[in-house]
Chain A
Amino acid sequence: MSDLYTAGQVPSSYASSLVVRVNPSVKLGLHLLCMLVFIFVHDPVTSCGLMLIPMVLALTAARIPVWTFVKRMAPFLLLFISTTWILSAYGKGETVLWHGGWVTITQEGLVKGLNIGLRMLGFVAYGALFAMTTEVTLLALSLMQQCKLPPKFGYALLAGFRFLPMFKEEYEQIKSAHRVRGVARVPGLRGKLETFTRYTIPLLAQGIRKAERVAIALEARGFDGTHNRTFYRELRVGANDAIYFSLLLSLHLLVYLVLTKFI
């Protein structure tokens, strides 16, 4: 539960690092571009090199503690292994490396599997780096100020963010209440479906009511959803963003050079 409360906030331990200070919209754009690069790469060695970039950045330019980052990435490692395994074990190919039972590992399959797996890991690493270094408030403000997102959506995003922990609490309450009342868990799909509707109705009822109240309260404070407003915090694109851009560019070049020169 504590995770939900602090989601979208950067811990003070690395809040002053370079990656945190990059304009969120710029960061978002750059990360998406970097992910795009993966698409054009078809050998696992290059993918591996590219994948290391966000990881190195996370530990250096973002100063995220190693353990925090590893914990965040750990679940995806499992996904990496299973993706790689499935693709290499069942993928088509000529050169058989190993054979046993239904499983035939071919070189082509292994290459493809590793490549897709590493690509996915790279995507996830860029995503994690972004999520762990971006204040949700600044992201919303930057999307409104730099990308001209209508404030209607920007502030809805923020209000929705505040709702996450409330939903979780609400859900726990309903679960407890139903337990006290002796709602038996009917086994099987039908039981699951029944439980789902039982939880959903009160959750939705409460959620819609809260959302409506917030909307009314914000409109009553003069919010009209348009760009006709000033901003307390003005976000700009500046030196940090240029540095971050050059950093990413040089790291990509470095990977390219190392791979072409030495391998």
Chain B
Amino acid sequence: MNTLTSKTPFLASEGVSVQFFDRDTPVLREMNVEIAKNEAVLLLGPSGSGKSTLLQVLSGIIPRSIEAWFKGTVIRPERVGVMFQDPDAQFCMLTVEDEIAFSLENRLVPRAQMRGIIEQVMRDVRLEVPLTTPIRELSGGLKQRLALACLLALEPEVLFVDEPTAQLDPLNTQLVIEDLRRLKGQKTLVMIEHKLDGVVEWVDRVLLFNATGQLVAQGNPREILRDHAQMIREYGIWQPKLWPVTWDEMLATVKHPLADRLEHQLAVQANSIGATLASDGKLLEQTQSDPHVSKAPILEVREASLRYKNGHVVWQGLNVSVQPGEWVAILGPNGAGKSTFLKLVGGLIEPTKGQVQVKGKTLSRYRTPELYDTVGFVFQNPEHQFIADTVFEEVAFGGKVAGWAQERIEQESVQLLTDFRLLDLRDKNPFTLSQGQKRRLSVAGMLLKRQEVLLLDEPTFGQDAATTAELLQRMQERNEAGTTILMATHDVELVAEYATRVLVIGEGKLLYDGRPHALFQQPDLLQRASLTAPLAYEYQLRRREQAAKDQGGHDSAKHEEPALVGRNSSEQKEGDLRV
């Protein structure tokens, strides 16, 4: 399919070059790509490699909606659809039916046919809500499925998707990917997706780009990921956790290398708890049963409830007590109130009922500067924190406010900038940095004052493998030096490896408070909280199921698919990077 044929290709770019007006160099140079009808293609490359630009060129967004210098020919069928990353920025109507109808109206579909089509596409993406549901009431995952329904209403021959799961929790990621997978063979699919698990297994072809926007290789996923493993790692591209190994293969093979590694991880994670217990007495056990432990907690939430004016209850009756030096992960579905919980602890919102104490003192009795000398907060969107005109000033700011000596400010700021690989950028404006640089700067800016408690709201969100690994390393250093960390995240692999404790918030309450190790062995609870198990735990689960099957003989349960949680593979991490 890669050889150029004489007949007109279905979808192709021929000698396409693109340069944005604010850049000095072209993003794409003489790009030749050809895609066959009903083929499923994955574009892979580091950020800035031009894969999004290529998708925009192929789908016609460039030059129709985004202006750029453009040269070359694009061949594309008449009807195409594009799915984007941001669930909040692809709609213009207020209700589900109006939004889908908008697609149909654009296509001049007669009004009498609309209702039927709307119901049909909603069934296609399993969007089971009333037609008049306001869009703002949908979770991120449902919004993305609505976006897909709106595209299917266009009856596109080609479906372009640009990281549609980037902002979703694990379970919703899996559902969106499954919807796409079902379209394989019926539609041509051109995809950009960070989370390769659940995708590489079924795409026909991978196009690999390098950092300068050249197409380095293309072919079936197995070959590309094998032959270019080195480059992929260097570029910080997320790799699949399991693939190309399959569960069947791993379970059938005695002493499979990946199985060995996973078992090792399990053992390490089970033991690391033991180590914490040994050095810290019986604290962890106690926090689970009795929040009022004898040793002074650094942070204590008592009977906290939050209810909005419109009557919506975010959560209620939260009791959490955190010991100094803990690394607490906060998990839960999109919209469960994880960020809100962090804001409560950080004194940014008041609970409707209950109270929060930091170092034994109620939050309301703190003066603002005093509180934030103790508690640092890294916000989800780095830009929200930026207050200075240069990268250096951004980091130095805290020291200036605290009235430190000039030398100390200079020395410690430079140290942080060096740690976070930002020193070369010290005179740049924070808003002009790349996504990854902004994230690193927002964390660095919060670390100068060495607060005892650090609250982080999805700090690894949208970051590539390299930046994530680096951020975690820095945080682990802080944690080892005694900083207490509370971190909201969707990344279960991260939790399994780093957190000493995990809180699961969902259904308006605290669903779980305890060790990650124990959480990940409860598939039912994971599913309730829209979570999936880390690979190692999924392996363990499947091992057990297999063992039970072998014992149980011709039990009827044997033919059932493994639990939903068990089948997933949509998380982001690759074991190698972490261990």
Contact = CB atoms under 8 A, between A and B. Distances in A.
29 contacts: A1-B308, A2-B310, A5-B310, A136-B94, A155-B92, A155-B102, A158-B93, A162-B94, A176-B343, A176-B348, A177-B385, A179-B372, A180-B346, A180-B385, A181-B372, A181-B445, A182-B372, A182-B397, A182-B402, A198-B387, A205-B431, A210-B86, A210-B88, A214-B92, A216-B61, A228-B108, A229-B106, A231-B111, A232-B97
Main secondary structure of the interface of A (DSSP, over half): helix
Contacts of A231: 105, 111
B70 interface: no
B227 interface: no
B103 A222 contact: yes
Contact of A213 (B89, B110, B346): B89
Contacts of A217: 82, 84, 89-91
Contacts of A2: 308-310
A217 to B, nearest CB: 4
B151 A221 contact: yes
Given A202-B431, A210-B88, 8 more contacts: A136-B94, A173-B381, A180-B375, A181-B385, A182-B401, A183-B387, A220-B82, A221-B150
A202 B386 contact: yes
B285 interface: no
**Residue of B64, B109, B348, B387 contacting most chain A CB atoms (<10 Å):** B387
Interface of A: 1-2, 5, 8-9, 136-137, 155, 158-159, 161-162, 165-166, 170, 173-174, 176-184, 198, 201-202, 205-206, 210, 213-224, 228-234
Contacts of A178: 385, 387
Contacts of B93: 137, 158
A61 to B, nearest CB: 25
A177 B109 CA distance: 47
Interface residues of B, number: 64
Nearest to B381: A173
Interface of B: 59-61, 64-66, 80-82, 84, 86, 88-95, 97-98, 101-111, 114, 134-136, 150-151, 154, 308-310, 343, 346, 348, 368-369, 372, 375-377, 379, 381, 383-387, 397-398, 401-402, 431, 445
A179 B368 contact: yes
Nearest to A137: B94
A180 B106 contact: no
A137 B346 CA distance: 39
B174 to A, nearest CB: 24
B459 to A, nearest CB: 14
Contact of A232 (B98, B368, B431): B98
A166 B88 contact: yes
A9 B59 CA distance: 36
A221 B81 contact: yes
Nearest to A217: B90
Nearest to A158: B92
Given A222-B154, A232-B105, A174 B384 contact: yes
A223 B445 CA distance: 43
**Residue of A176, A217, A224 contacting most chain B CB atoms (<10 Å):** A217
Nearest to A8: B94
A192 to B, nearest CB: 16
A136 B310 CA distance: 21
Contacts of A216: 61, 65-66, 84
Contacts of B106: 221-224, 229
A1 B340 CA distance: 15
Contacts of A1: 308-309
A178 B217 CA distance: 46
A243 to B, nearest CB: 26
A230 B89 contact: no
A213 B86 contact: yes
A105 to B, nearest CB: 43
A232 B135 CA distance: 17
**Residue of A155, A206, A216, A224 contacting most chain B CB atoms (<10 Å):** A216
Nearest to B101: A232
Nearest to A157: B92
A9 B98 CA distance: 14
A137 B89 CA distance: 18
A218 B368 CA distance: 44
Contact of B103 (A165, A206, A221): A221
A232 B114 contact: yes
Nearest to A184: B401
A217 B102 CA distance: 12
Contacts of B92: 155, 158-159, 162, 214, 218
A222 B107 contact: yes
Contacts of A179: 348, 368, 372
Contacts of B150: 221
Nearest to B64: A219
B139 to A, nearest CB: 15
A230 B104 contact: yes
Nearest to A231: B105
Contacts of B94: 8-9, 136-137, 158, 161-162
A221 B401 contact: no
A9 to B, nearest CB: 7
Nearest to A5: B136
A221 B154 contact: yes
A113 to B, nearest CB: 37
Given A183-B387, A217-B89, A230 B136 contact: no
A5 B309 CA distance: 12
Nearest to B368: A179
Nearest to A232: B101
A71 to B, nearest CB: 13
Contacts of A173: 379, 381, 384
B56 to A, nearest CB: 8
A91 B102 CA distance: 55
Contact of B65 (A165, A219, A228): A219
Contacts of A159: 91-92
B138 to A, nearest CB: 13
A139 B571 CA distance: 44
Contacts of A198: 387
Contacts of A201: 431
A230 B89 CA distance: 23
A236 to B, nearest CB: 13
Nearest to B397: A181
A263 to B, nearest CB: 46
B108 A230 contact: yes
A24 B93 CA distance: 17
A182 B105 contact: no
Contacts of B369: 182
A162 B91 contact: yes
Contacts of A180: 346, 348, 372, 375-377, 385
B315 to A, nearest CB: 18
Contacts of B387: 178, 181, 183, 198
Contacts of B91: 159, 162, 214, 217
